[in-house]
Structure 1
Amino acid sequence: MDYQGKKCLIAYFSHAGMNYVSGKIVDLPVGNTERAAQMLRLFTGGDLFHIRTASVYPNDYQEVVKIAKKEKADNARPVLERDIDSIDDYDVIFLGYPNWCGTMPMALWTFLENHDFTDKTIYPFCTHEGSGVGHSLEDIHALCPTAKLGKSLALLGTTIEDAEDDIRRWLRD
């Protein structure tokens, strides 16, 4: 992966609170994608940017699922709590998200449409519980056709605590 010596941004969306893990609902004080983003920061030295919506998602897992499905069905663009001023100084964007409804949360659509990714390289990383990246790579390409889409990484949320080796391998490839 071509990131060393380049200015890196790790932009990610993550949901803490009640999450589906290994067939049951558990309370995660830090979301799986955020944990992966923190590992990436440790290994790359990139800048972290947590993509958050202005309307906070509820803690209850089933409520979050309902909202995510409605946002996807409505092709919504949730308002972000804040946005990064510019991505102009970055060469590489590591883009992290959980798989929601077979793709990335709609907040990522908002973030991606707010910026010009021309000549940027996007390396997607996704946390999931068995569904992989879904069709998020196609969605990212459609939203950022002038960006280079690098190799993605799908991390099983259940094993996120042991993901350091997977992330290191991904960065070496």
Structure 2
Amino acid sequence: MPAQNQNNKILIAYFSWSGNARALAGQIAQETGGDLFEIKTVKVYPDTYNECIEVAKQEQDRNDRPAISGSVTNMAQYGTVFLCYPNWWGTLPMGVFTFLESYDFSGKTMYPLITHGGSRFGRSLEDIKKLCPRSVIGEGLSVSAFDTNPKDGTRVTVPNRDLNSWLRRLGMSR
């Protein structure tokens, strides 16, 4: 059940390198009528998988907070936030850390959705709780998107039946 908030608008914030999280975020927006916001780093990640994961590992080792472009207009209007992201080295991409540290999520209900190649949420839920201690972290969903070369195209099935069932359980389908 979403936290009580003066506004019940829905934000779907997503970070996507391969297109998987973007596709699922789009499906959430279509099913809920929520607003989409892409968490996009100013510095673009390499196109090849191995180079990208190396850069991501270096960012994590340095505890970087990469700059992101754009911002959410009037975050206060949102009572519910779906946060969609891939599992990078066991947690959130560092640009998602930047996003979460840029806003006050107090009193908001957050529903994490992670795409992964087998490691599910890793420690990302614990990291979200540390970054947003005054928000309610609702039931999350992990979607397997394993493939040897994710840039070849979206690997998750959209529409995704697991996502539809999850949204129904949350009472978020239109």
Q: TM-score scaled by structure 2? A: 0.86
Aligned residue number for residue 146 of structure 1: 134
Q: Tell me which of 66, 69, 90 is aligned to 2:54.
A: 66
State which drifts further: 163-172 or 100-109: 163-172
Q: State TM-score, norm by structure 1.
A: 0.87
Q: Deviations over 1:2-58 (max 9, x none)?
A: 49x931000000003xxxxxxxxxxxxxx1110110111111010000100000111
Q: Which stretches of structure 1, 4 residues or more, deviate above 2 A after TM superposition?
A: none
| Ranges in structure 2 where 5+ consecutive residues have no aligned partner | 147-154, 170-174
Contact 2:24–2:158 under 8 Å retained in 1: no
8 Å CA contact 1:54–1:80 kept in 2: the answer is yes
1:92 aligns with 2:80: yes
Distance 1:2 1:147, change over 3 A: closer
Give unpaired runs (5+ residues) of structure 1: 17-30
Residue aligning to 1:164: 160
* Contact 1:155/1:163, CA 8 A, preserved across alignment: no
Secondary structure of the residue aligned to 1:91 is strand
Residue 13, structure 1, aligned to residue 9, structure 2: no
Contact 1:55 1:81 in 2 (8 A): no
Q: Which structure 2 residues correspond to residues 117-136 of structure 1 after superposition, within 5 A?
A: 117-136=105-124
What is the Cα deviation at residue 165 of structure 1?
Answer: 1.3
Letter in 1 for 2:17: H
The structure showing larger relative contact order (alpha-carbon pairs under 8 Å, at least 6 residues apart) is 2
The match for 1:53 is: 41
Q: Give RMSD over aligned pairs.
A: 1.6
Percent identity of equivalent pairs: 44
